[in-house]
Amino acid sequence: MTRLISPFAPGTSLESSPETLYNSAASATVVDTAIQQSIIGAGPGSLRIPRNILTTGRMLRCTAYGRMDTDAVPGLISFLAQLNGDTVAESESFTPPAGYANINWFINLLLTIYPNNEIRALGGYQFHAIGGDPTSAMRAADFFESGSPIDPTIQNPFDLQVQWELAKVANTITCEIFILELI
């Protein structure tokens, strides 16, 4: 097992084997709405992070994969990671490739708990459309921190939400795989 040196306490280390907290067993779809909605399907485990687990140096890793269809003018899309209903990380808004079907998308997000219970985000999301204009075939965007410090002494439910700018019938996004891990 590889050991990682912790930046928080000299000489301490963190085990690198993650603990899977949640793994979706069903897909979730958001379609034809400009209302922010969860994109996590039902599955085993819990999205409620137990009390006193999110301490300085701990990390949550969120991995999600799915497909989307877009209108000829899809508008912007963004992803938001939330703990206890508060947005702790938000992607930059991004216009996905227009007028495509079955665009692959992928999110890899790492949330690190810093002193004073602040969360720092590192990660991004990517779209890959097959065919069409090669200059619009792949896009990527980053996440940034946007929330207040968390309270680690309470259960903190996790959610990953998506927000379309425009409600259009052809704007459909489905999350087929979602994994939440504690590192």
DSSP assignment of 43-91, as one string? -SB-SEEPTT-S-TT-EEEEEEEEEEE--SS---EEEEEEETTEEEEEE
- 145 pLDDT higher than 80: no
Between the alpha carbon of residue 13 and those of residues 2, 43, 109, 119, the distances in Å are: 10, 31, 22, 19
- 15 pLDDT higher than 60: no
Please report how many Cα atoms fall inside a 13 Å half-sphere around the Cα of residue 14, on the Cβ side. Answer: 18
- Cα–Cα distance, 105 to 182 (Å, whole number): 23
22 beta partners: 45, 180
pLDDT at position 118: 86
Q: Does domain 18-135+148-182 have CATH number 1.20.1440?
A: no
- 124 pLDDT higher than 60: yes
pLDDT at position 65: 93
Q: Are 143 and 79 in contact (CB under 8 A)?
A: yes
Distance of CA 45 to the CA centre of its chain: 17
Confidence of residue 164 (pLDDT cuts 50, 70, 90): very high
pLDDT at position 30: 94
Domain boundaries, the chain: 18-135+148-182
pLDDT at position 163: 92
Summarize pLDDT for 61-120 with one digit per residue, the tens.
999 999 999 999 989 988 999 999 988 888 888 888 788 888 888 898 999 998 888 888
Confidence of residue 144 (pLDDT cuts 50, 70, 90): confident
Q: Are 80 and 87 in contact (CB under 8 A)?
A: yes
How much is the pTM?
A: 0.83
Q: Which helix (H) or strand (E) holds 104?
A: strand 103-114
* φ and ψ at residue 116, rounded to 5 degrees: 65, 20
